[in-house]
Structure 1
C-alpha cells in the first residue's frame, strides 16, 4: 500500500491525515508536507489545465487556493506590435521561459502564509509543481 502523510485534514485544527491507495498514488510530493486541501488544489489545478489543453490546444497554467480557482492562463505568442506596446519586445516569452520563471518564483498571497498551488501543462516535459 502506498501512502503520503498529510500535515492535517481539511482544517488546521484537525490532526494529521494521510492519502493512501492499494495501488500506486497518482501524485508525488517533491517538497514540503501538504495538507488535504493542498492535494485537492493539485487535483483541481491538474484537471483545469488538462481541460484547457484539450479545449484550446495551448499550453496552460492554473492556480487554486483553498479549493477555489485563483487564476488560469493560456500561452499565445504576442504580435511584435503588442510586445512593443507592453515593453517586452526584448524578452523571451516562450512557454519554456514562462514555465521556468513560474517554477523559480513562487506566488504568495501577502495576507496569507499559504502559497497557492500552480499547475502547468504544455507540450514540454517539465515537472508540475
Structure 2
C-alpha cells in the first residue's frame, strides 16, 4: 500500500489505530518529516529528531512508546543510540524499530532493537510493527 493510498483510507479505518507516542530519528530530514506527517495524520503523537544525540534528549522528555531510528547517522549512529536508550529508564519500556537501508537485521537486534525494517518503508509492515494495522 502506498502512503497516498493509506492516507486516503476511511476515517473508520484510521479510528482503529491506537494513539501512541512515536519518536522518529533520521538524519534525512525529508524522510523523517514525511513519515512524521503520515503518522500524525493517522493519530499518533510524533516528535522528530535528526541525529542520535537528539534521540536521547527527546526520549527522556517525550517518553515515547516507540522510537523509529535510522542506523547510518553521522555522529551517534542508530546502533549506538539504541544501546544508550536501553540504559535509560524510558528505554526499558520503549519499543525500538530500525528503519534503514542497512540490511543486517542481526546487528540491529543485537544492539537492542525490537524490529528491523528496510527503506523505502513498507507502510503496512511499519503499521504491523507498531501493532496498529
Q: Give your verdict on TM over 0.5.
A: no
Q: Counting helix residues as a fraction of each chain, which structure ranks higher?
A: 2
Query: Structure 2-normalised TM-score?
Result: 0.24
Give TM-score scaled by structure 1 length: 0.25
Which is higher, the Rg of structure 1 or of structure 2? 1
